[in-house]
Structure 1
Amino acid sequence: MKLFKTLAPAVALAALPSLGLAQEAEAAPDINPYIFTTLLFLIGGFLVFWMAAGFAMLEAGLVRSKNVTMQLTKNIALFSIAAIMYWLVGFNLMYPGDGWIIPGYVGGFFNITSLEPVGLDAADAALDYASVGSDFFFQLMFCATTASIVSGTLAERIKLWPFLIFVVVLTGFIYPIEASWQWGGGWLSEAGFSDFAGSTLVHAAGGWAALAGALILGPRLGKYSKDGRTVPMPGSNLALATLGTFILWLGWFGFNGGSQLAMGTVGDVTDVSRIFANTNMAAASGAVAALILTQVMYKKPDLTMTLNGALAGLVSITAEPLAPSLFGALLTGAVGGVIVVFTVPLLDKLKIDDVVGAIPVHLFAGIWGTLAVAFYTGNWGAQIMGIVSIGIFTFVVSAIVWFILKALGGIRVSEEAEIAGLDMSELGMEAYPEFSKG
């Protein structure tokens, strides 16, 4: 007993450091949500980056062989320009919502994006939901996707440099401003508009910009005959177009799944898995709907329509990939596939030349997908208001930019250059030099 009384104070003193460590451990913030959400952004970001390859392959396959090099050049250039412009202007213009409009506020236009210090302390990092670097990287991919949509519509007759100048304006200003209205906490967000991953903010916006360009640029030579017929101009490589579609399908899991914007809890990661399943179902049903409908309408299934049907299904589910059941996702995607089959010939009747079908896929299916959100929210007014406001803003500003570029130096190549193909006339190199031009 005496020995215990003698040793007790020493034992207590020895235990104090461990008690202190325990208290520090209890007080330390939980860094797991920060780590897993940052990881979600990074994985989602590089999956969406891979969509750039998908757009490049899809467009390379759907244009004629004499224009393939031009499409590949535009796709790598537009992504690179988007990366720079979103760093210089776009990211800080897009966030914090309407703040950049306030007189005297310079955080949007003049505050170039910067990242965390190297080796940011974990305890400090946990105070935010994810790293700035991962957020910037992820959001950049959406910006670049918007520009990719425009590229395919205007293929085979637009000059390279005017197109790239338009990309500068689109990725640096047009997209960040309209996206800030929702994702930056702006007025559309406050009004109750909902667009989970960008059926309107990304896809329809790119479609509106493409439509403005197609109207001002005009159709390809010989596309529409004097007697009103549409002259088919088959793509050079349907294998590449199919590969591009599968790449885009894969990338969409990052596009929609990453837009959960959190993976730090059991609920969040479960929701991400649900988003993956719904996204896949919508793509599948869009493809099957287009496959069956073209068989019924044309007596033969159409591969290019089927490919675009899958993409339209993906665009359709993008506005709300979490709420639907698998059956709901199937219906949403199938309607997208049907929309493509009917709107591709509609554009031809209106003599609007869309080489790859980007306007039906991204604009029309994007509008449908955004409207479909109201089946879950019941807020039809906010959805319609978002579609109309973003449509008017993007179309009008894009048209102004296209008109200015046309007045300054022209946006269309000469007839001789178009007939010869843009690969040789604009770039001096061919994608398939050993084969005859198609």
Structure 2
Amino acid sequence: MKTTLKTVMLSAAPLLAATPVLAQEAAAPDETGFIFTTLLFLIGGFLVFWMAAGFAMLEAGLVRSKNVTTQLTKNIALFSIASIMYWLIGFNLMYPGDGWMIAGWLGGFSPTSLEPVGLEGVEPALDYASVGSDFFFQLMFCATTASIVSGTLAERIKLGPFLVFVIILTGLIYPIEASWQWGGGWLSEAGFADFAGSTLVHAAGGFAALAGAIVLGPRIGKYAADGRVTPILGSNMPLATLGTFILWLGWFGFNGGSQLAMGTAADVADISRIFANTNMAAAAGAVAALLLTQTIYGKTDLTMVLNGALAGLVSITAEPLAPTLFGSLWIGAVGGAIVVFAVPFLDKLKIDDVVGAIPVHLFAGVWGTIAVIFYGDASLFTQLTGVIAIGAFVFVASLVVWLIMKNTVGIRVDEEAEITGLDMSELGMEAYPEFTT
């Protein structure tokens, strides 16, 4: 039915009468940017939170059935510990503002405080977002760093010492190195660029995992005396695939939320560009791994394809905005190829990484950070400086913690417990009891 001019005028009459009220409201401070950026942090945050489920499912699928419950326990425990430690000291250590203890290098130690209910008595900077949303979003990155370590050290590490390491990693190690860039520290001043954390989150988690794997040693039967590598297959490929898709989904919040602003049309357009580039890199990483494994081994390796997708995601994380779709494709494809060659390289070194987290997060994270030079403003020297500084700090600090625990409380289960499985030896609870013979 057509709308007549008379109908329009009659329907508009109440609005015209309210014009003075609307004019008064328009005179108030513009809260639009504050509202939408806060919303971006909250939506991005719970997408990244969903990555915790992705890590849990991926690890549950790639370990043997006798260790599944332990991996699930580690994942929910590490996220919970990270939440508490990041509130207690991590957030303010990572974002010191004017509270640097050593300018550019070390922030202050204090718990996080939120705005009062209803913003009563405060005047927040309306060009940014609420403290609560910022804390929530940044916490997810902290927890992700710890999740990376979990999979590498699976099937032979004691639960207690692992969780002690998580306390130190999420409360101290990660916030300190991240403050050098995202907290306005010395790397930020030097011009280092890492949009969403290829090095600050992923390579950092990979360096911590590498230190742990070296100290912990490989699983029983993984490497023979003559140098042969014995494949130890995962228990559930559907779960591993589900975990990869969940991580892929969560990465849109990881990279998209790192735009850190949604108050203008330009910001929203950039976020959509980040989503498209993130997806392209993941797809290219998966296809590269698929083609390479088919070419090299004569058969496609699903675990390599899954990790190829994740490596593509890690690779684009350092700069998901500036590249074209083609740029994202080749950056992600290189990441997928890195995984295919890095996994056997680690095996030659007899470094046992159960889920392939070191190739995915460390190697591809370093590659992604270097790839910024092709589309961003950073120099190769500056990018390498950041990678080396963060890598050295995280690796050495983690190595010290692992060695102290190894020589005091011990970090590895005994041989009988490892053969039986950590589910029964550590927890007394199996993931699939009906299949036990």
TM-score bracket relative to the smaller structure: over 0.9
Deviation at 1:374, TM superposition (A): 1.1
Partner of 1:398: 398
Question: 1:19 and 1:345 mapped to 2: Cα distance?
Answer: 70
TM-score where L is the length of structure 1 = 0.92
Which letter maps to 2:163? L
Q: For the residues of structure 2 that align with 1:309 and 1:315, how far apart are their CA atoms? A: 10
Confirm whether residue 349 of structure 1 aligns to residue 348 of structure 2: yes
Indicate if the aligned counterparts of 1:31 and 1:125 stay in contact, CA closer than 8 A.
Answer: no
Letter in 2 for 1:435: F
How many angstroms apart in 1 are the aligned matches of 2:57 and 2:98? 37
Structure 1 303/20 Cα, relative in aligned 2: closer, same or farther at 3 Å? closer
**Partner in structure 2 of residue 66 of structure 1:** 66
Q: Secondary structure at the match of 2:117?
A: coil
**Mapping 1:47-196, distance limit 5 Å:** 47-96=47-96, 99-102=99-102, 108-109=108-109, 111-120=110-119, 124-125=123-124, 127-196=126-195
Give the Cα–Cα distance (whole angstroms) in 1 for the partners of residues 189 and 41 of structure 2.
25
**Counterpart contact for 1:256–1:318, Cα < 8 Å:** yes
Aligned to 2:254: 255
Deviations 1:210-241 (A, max 9, x none): 00000000000000011110001000000000
Letter in 1 for 2:312: G
User: One-letter code of the match for 1:334?
Assistant: A
Deviations 1:220-267 (A, max 9, x none): 000001111000100000000000000000000000000000000000
Matched letter for residue 314 of structure 1: L
Measured in 1, the distance between the counterparts of 2:274 and 2:323 equals 9
Matched, 1:266 2:265: yes
Distance (Å, rounded) in 2 between the aligned partners of 1:106 and 1:251: 30
Amino acid at match of 1:278: N
Secondary structure of 1:321's aligned partner: coil
User: In the aligned structure 1, how far is the partner of 2:66 from the partner of 2:22?
Assistant: 70
Segments of 5+ residues of structure 1 without an aligned counterpart are 1-17
Report the counterpart of residue 310 of structure 2 in structure 1: 311
TM-score, normalised relative to structure 2:
0.93
Deviation for aligned residue 1:25: 4.1
Q: In the alignment, what sits opposite 2:287? A: 288
Indicate conservation of the 8 Å contact 1:31/1:122, yes or no.
Answer: no
Asked if the contact 1:28/1:123 (under 8 Å) is kept, the reply is no
Tell me the distance in 2 between the aligned counterparts of 1:156 and 1:412: 9
Secondary structure, aligned partner of 1:408: coil
Partner residue in 2 for 1:380: 380
8 Å contact from structure 1 (residues 98, 181) kept in 2 = no
- CA displacement 1:143-173 (0-9 Å, x = unmatched): 0000000000000000000000000000000
Flag the 1:178–1:275 CA change in 2: closer, same or farther, 3 A.
same
Query: Quick one: distance in 2 between partners of 1:122 and 1:260?
Result: 29
Aligned-partner SS, 1:156 = coil
Q: What is the percentage of aligned positions where both structures have the same residue?
A: 78
Kept in 1: contact 2:107–2:176 (CA 8 A):
no
- Preserved contact between residue 281 and residue 333 of structure 1 (Cα < 8 Å): yes
The one-letter code sitting in structure 2 at the alignment partner of 1:349 is: K
Could you tell me which amino acid in structure 1 is paired with residue 282 of structure 2?
A
Match of 1:200 in 2: 199
Rounded Cα–Cα distance in structure 2 between residues aligned with 1:252 and 1:55: 12
CA-to-aligned-CA distance 1:111-142 (integer Å, 9 cap, x gap): 21011111115993453510000000000000
Distance in 2 separating the partners of 1:244 and 1:365: 19
Write the letter of the residue equivalent to 1:169. I
Residues 65 and 140 of structure 1: CA distance in aligned 2, closer, same or farther (over 3 Å): same
Shift of 1:24: 4.9
CA shift at 1:22, angstroms? 7.5
SS at the partner of 2:433?
A: coil
Assess, with a 3 A threshold, how the Cα gap between structure 1 residues 412 and 341 changes in structure 2: closer, same or farther.
same
Provide the C-alpha distance between the structure 1 equivalents of 2:297 and 2:362, rounded to a whole number of angstroms: 24
Residue type of the alignment partner of 1:240: L
Do structure 1's residue 325 and structure 2's residue 324 form an aligned pair?
yes
Higher mean C-alpha deviation, range 306-315 or range 118-127: 118-127
Change (3 A) 1:192 1:94: same
Q: Who is 2:4 aligned against?
A: none
Query: Which residue in 2 is equivalent to 1:10?
Result: none
- Number of residue pairs the alignment of both structures matches: 418
**What is the identity, as a one-letter code, of the residue corresponding to 1:210?**
A
Distance 1:121 1:19 in 2: 28
Contact 1:56-1:71 within 8 A present in 2 as well: yes
Give 1:43's aligned residue: 43
Residue 365 (structure 2) aligns with = 366
| Alpha-carbon distance between aligned partners in 1 of 2:85 and 2:321, rounded to the nearest angstrom | 31
**Is the 1:29–1:126 contact (alpha carbons within 8 Å) kept by the matching residues of 2?**
no
In structure 2, give the amino acid aligned to 1:323.
A
Output the amino acid matched with 2:402: W
Shift of 1:375: 1.2
Would the alpha carbon gap of residues 39 and 155 (structure 1) be closer, same or farther in structure 2, given more than 3 Å must change?
same
**Contact in 1 for aligned 2:285/2:337 (Cα 8 Å):** yes
